[in-house]
Amino acid sequence: MKKITIVGGKLQGLEACYLGMKADIEVTLIDKDPQAPAKDMAAHFICADDLGGSPEVMAALDSADMVLPTMENYQVLEGLNGLSAMTGFIYAFDMDAYRISSSKKRSDKLFYDNKVEAPRYYPEGSAPYIAKPDGQSGSHGVRYFETEKETEEFAASHNEMIIQEFLEGPSYSIEVIGEPGNYRAYEITQIHIDDIYDCNKVTAPCDITQMQAEEFVSEAKRIASIIRLKGITDFEVIDSGSRVRMLEIDARLPSQTPTVVYHSSGTNFIEELYDLFVRGDFRSKKQSGMKYTAFEHMLVSGRDISSPGEHVMTEGSVLDYKENYLGSDEVITDRDRNTDTFRMTFINTAETEELVSRKREGVLACLKNTL
């Protein structure tokens, strides 16, 4: 049986454990938190902080077919990279690519040097603007400024922040997996965000033109080639109406989008990474099937139901996986552990977008009836 060890049990780890389960891979999860959200999604769980100093951890690393990190702790990532070089276990991660993508300044320089369309830096462009920390992904530390004056006042005392023009329009994501000379680009997904710019829903397929899709795929593969990626990277773009611009690149397994790609097209990124790193090349044919899929987060507090961003899924208890629950195809939730306030991720797939919408309406009706 295939065996992998995953290090990091939050959102990315949850994604990897879920896809490992779907691929019938024996997963060992390592996390320093004894109540890591993904704990019960793995076959085995090891609670440990000092990775190199634990015989149990070293045994899990050495016995795995490959080791996949699913967190953004730079010290841990570098430590695992060093342990891999010393002991020889397969480390399914590209540290060089991650060093570029983990910094907005470095990744934006990559875009600029290679003439990739991207949002312009303040004071270029025009208000509104958005500010982001250099070394954070997702919505962490994001600030929005409606006017030039607000932006100017903030910029005067926050030289460390990246400030760019805020572009409105639909956002899309695509993943590329491979190594120089052999890259695959996968299905494009649409990113939906809440009022603090965190993703609360992902859907596929997307309502974009064939030309847009081809340009997106071509540009993603081109950037992967420039950084000589070996592994996986995620690209996010925004269609502002006049043109499509690259928002960011993240050279690590993302959360949310891989599950949507799996249900919509049948491609499992954990299997793809396993083939690349363990077997040396892709073994499966690239999937072309398309089913409508929606992946959405819900927070229930008393009788109130809201749809916040993905961060909410790490703010409760250990998460459980359920099938055919409340009318939803699949649900990831901590409801059984929290009776008054709990979190739920609903995953639904159907042949048409209308049928997926009907499932969602039915799920919400069932959920309300249980409160």
Cβ proximity of 186 and 265 under 8 Å? yes
Task: Grade residue 154 by pLDDT with cuts at 50, 70 and 90.
Answer: confident
Q: State residue 283's pLDDT score.
A: 92
Phi then psi for residue 31, to 5 deg, are -155, 150
Of the listed ranges 10-24, 97-111, 129-143, 308-322, the least confidently predicted one is 129-143
- Say which range, 150-164, 182-196, 254-268, has the weakest mean pLDDT: 150-164
The mean per-residue pLDDT over the stretch 219-230 comes to: 97
Euclidean distance between the first and the last CA atom of the chain, given in angstroms as a whole number: 42
pLDDT level of residue 260 (50, 70, 90 thresholds):
very high
Q: Is the pLDDT of residue 320 over 90?
A: yes
Looking at the domain assignment, is residue 113 inside a domain? Answer: no
23 and 126 co-located in one domain: no
Query: Confidence band (pLDDT; 50, 70, 90) for 324?
Result: very high
Q: How sure is the predictor about 139, in pLDDT bands with cuts at 50, 70 and 90?
A: low
Domain assignment present for 227: yes
CATH number of the domain that 42 lies in?
3.40.50.720
Q: Are 200 and 310 in contact (CB under 8 A)?
A: yes
1-10, 130-139, 163-172, 290-299: least confidently modelled range: 130-139
Domain of residue 360 covers 292-370
Length of the chain: 371
Task: Say whether both 178 and 250 belong to one domain.
Answer: yes
Which of 279, 309, 341 finishes a domain? 279
pLDDT higher than threshold 80 for residue 308: yes
Does 188 reside within a domain? yes
Q: Say what the pLDDT of residue 131 is.
A: 86
- Looking at 37, 58, 93, the residue that finishes a domain is 93
Specify whether 175 is located in the same domain as 273: yes
Residue 145 lies in a domain: yes
| Number of structural domains in the chain | 4
On whether residue 363 sits in a domain, the answer given is yes
pLDDT value, residue 136: 61
Residue 72 in this model has a pLDDT that exceeds 80:
yes
Same domain for 308 and 251:
no
Is 60 found in the same domain as 129? no
- Specify the amino acid at residue 307: S
Res. 135: pLDDT tops 80: no
With vertex at residue 247, the alpha carbon angle to CA 275 and CA 151, rounded to the nearest 5 degrees, is 150
Together in a domain, 364 and 297: yes
| pLDDT value, residue 138 | 54
Predicted confidence at residue 137, as pLDDT, reads 59
Among 279, 314, 348, which residue terminates a domain?
279
Model confidence, pTM? 0.92
Residues 275 and 190 grouped into a single domain: yes
Whether 126 and 211 map to the same domain: the answer is no
Of the candidates 281, 123, 132, the residue with the CA atom closest to the CA atom of residue 197: 132
